[in-house]
Homo-oligomer: A and B are copies of this chain.
Amino acid sequence: MKTYNVAILGATGAVGQEMMNVLAERDFPLNKLRLLASKRSVGKTYQYKDQVIACEEATPDSFEGMDIVLGAVENDIAEQLLPHAVKAGAVVIDNSSAYRLDDNVPLVVPEVNPQDIQKNNGIIANPNCSTIIALVAINKLHEYATVNSIIASTYQAVSGAGVPGLNELNTQVTQVMNDEKVEPQVFPYQIAFNLIPQIGGFDEMGYSSEEMKMQNEGRKILHHPELNVTCTCVRVPVMRSHSESLTLFFDKEIDVEKAKELLANADGVKLVDDPNNKQYPMPLDTSDQDLVYVGRIRKDLTQNNNKSLTLWCCGDQVRKGAATNAVQIAIEYIKQNA
């Protein structure tokens, strides 16, 4: 079997670490795994299966001989280093938002648009976490009846801000319980026992950058430039699974039973919808695994045309929202190029 040289750029972060886990779990056909990070992490070691691998400093020369580079760094570092990976001949799967809307870069959720991988010119972008979770949840419905618009309210975990976000919630909860002063550093306000309706900066209409991603990235992934999304993104004191309340408007009739039937057989989805037996998606249940849980599917009461539904879904932000989706793209890329 052919094996591949893989580098993780940003290996010490929450997403980079999870990429290592997912590569191992899925028995990725690895020849060599290179862990790239900032200078201060050089020499830090991590276990990958029975190997111990030391971090190397990420530089423009780090990508020689690599077949696949998984990017798990912020936009500025991605833009600075990833073009060198492409020049070195690697295919890059990038989790930053730097290239997502670039016409030359496919934006891929493997359950939704795997064929777009073919159009890559060296970079494939991994979508926004909330967008991935929403699209996995609705994809089979959209195949049956085109989704023309979505009203979304999100409940987003602190892991969206990486390890510092996870640490901040832990620290603040302890501070509150001990009656100590809380001094926010990662989030703009206290997140423990609070909600913050801001993720990213705001545009002139008052939408946050995170809120516009579901529309902009959704249009590209679904090849549906007319898709309209009104999204409200809210940070909640949950560790690592995002939840979303979605109301979907379709171009033709679709009832709850049909939706359940479609979702029971949807790739990447676990249908959890038996509320009378207290079965519905919850972020704790989806933490540390890859499926998007979908439930609470019901008729939208604001329309009388049977062309809209409302539902609730949850997915692990670090895994399916980032690391798992990237590794799935890598696996699909290999399959398509075998």
Contacts and interface: CB of A to CB of B under 8 A. Distances in A.
Interface of A: 149-151, 153, 155, 169-170, 173-174, 177, 188-190, 193-198, 201-202, 205-208, 215, 228-230, 232, 234, 236-239, 243, 245, 247, 249, 256, 273, 275-276, 278, 280-284, 295-302, 310, 312, 314
A45 to B, nearest CB: 26
Contact of A177 (B174, B207, B232): B174
A302 B228 contact: yes
Secondary structure call for the A interface: mixed
Given A153-B153, A247-B230, A195 B236 contact: yes
18 contacts: A151-B300, A170-B177, A173-B173, A189-B284, A193-B237, A194-B238, A195-B282, A195-B283, A197-B280, A197-B281, A215-B301, A228-B302, A230-B301, A232-B310, A234-B243, A236-B236, A237-B237, A237-B238
Nearest to A276: B202
B238 A245 contact: no
A298 B197 CA distance: 13
A202 B275 contact: yes
Taking each of A230, A237, A280, A300, which has the highest tally of chain B beta carbons within 10 Å of its own beta carbon? Answer: A230
Given A155-B234, A193-B238, A198-B275, 18 more contacts: A149-B301, A151-B247, A189-B282, A194-B284, A195-B236, A197-B280, A197-B281, A197-B282, A198-B280, A206-B256, A206-B297, A206-B298, A207-B301, A232-B245, A232-B296, A232-B312, A234-B243, A234-B245
